């Protein structure tokens, strides 16, 4: 059962992989009320039911980042049920670039459009729509927005030949994450403007190369979702 004093976190793409591990840790280890954002509602309900069965507070939220109607409905649900949001974890993402020989890339334009629709446009629309609820956070230091990005999108490191991803063909993915990084920086400004100086944080994190559905459980990825979530 949730308590009015419990912080509330919405995690996108929380039915599997890193997102599920983040939601589980927030509920179990940090006593958050977690909102399980998932494109398919039954998948989100399965995770929420598992957490509530363990005595934690969790709710499923249908959330398709490529649909403005879905985003609007999700925001309305959060507004009506909780009236505020303390933490938003923009975790949902797709990786369509060919990262191993058995993966077939879509045509370039489709590759970029589909990648940016989820990884950038969807995150931007959702965060903008949730900003009024984040501003109402009751946390002492204000709301937090966490953007799950990648060190592969670092403009400082992209040409570093010593990295293990220098020769990877992942142009659409890294460009989308670089754009996400800029979104995060803009929200540093926006949160300061909306919440006041020193209130609210916009944070970019890199979970490392994690084996998950995002990369078809690629054997080269040695980290587990729990490692990335931590």
What distance in Å separates the CA atoms of residue 73 and residue 92, rounded to the nearest whole number? Answer: 17
CB 83 within 8 A of CB 136: yes
177 is an active site residue: yes
Residue 139 sits at φ, ψ, to 5 deg, of -70, 145
161 is an active site residue: no
Q: Provide the CB-side half-sphere exposure for 58 (13 A, CA).
A: 29
What distance in Å separates the CA atoms of residue 47 and residue 224, rounded to the nearest whole number? Answer: 18
**Exactly one of 149, 150, 176, 212 is catalytic; which is it?**
150
CA dihedral over 6, 18, 51, 61, signed as positive or negative = positive
Strands across the sheet with 8-11, in order?
A: 57-62, 33-38, 8-11, 87-90, 144-148, 201-205
**Exactly one of 176, 177, 202, 212 is catalytic; which is it?**
177
- What residues act catalytically? 150, 177
């Amino acid at each position: 059962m949730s308590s009015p004093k419990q912080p509330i976190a919405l995690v996108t793409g929380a039915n599997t992989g890193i997102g599920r591990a983040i939601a589980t840790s927030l509920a179990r280890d940090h006593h958050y009320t977690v909102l399980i954002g998932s494109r398919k509602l039954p998948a989100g309900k399965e995770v929420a039911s598992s957490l509530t069965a363990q005595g934690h507070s969790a709710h499923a939220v249908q959330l398709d980042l490529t649909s403005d109607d879905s985003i609007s409905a999700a925001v309305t649900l959060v507004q009506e049920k909780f009236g505020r949001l303390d933490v938003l974890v923009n975790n949902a993402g797709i990786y369509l670039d060919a990262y191993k020989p058995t993966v077939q890339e879509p045509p370039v334009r489709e590759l970029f459009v589909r990648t940016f629709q989820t990884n950038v446009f969807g995150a931007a629309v959702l965060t903008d729509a949730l900003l009024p609820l984040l501003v109402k956070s009751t946390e002492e230091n204000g709301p937090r927005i966490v953007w799950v990005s990648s060190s592969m999108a670092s403009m400082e490191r992209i040409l570093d030949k010593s990295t293990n991803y220098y020769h990877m063909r992942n142009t659409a993915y890294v460009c989308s994450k670089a754009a996400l990084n800029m979104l995060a920086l803009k929200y540093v400004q926006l949160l300061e403007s909306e919440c006041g100086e020193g209130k609210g944080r916009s944070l970019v994190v890199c979970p490392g190369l994690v084996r998950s559905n995002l990369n078809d459980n690629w054997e080269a990825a040695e980290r587990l979702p729990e490692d990335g979530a931590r």
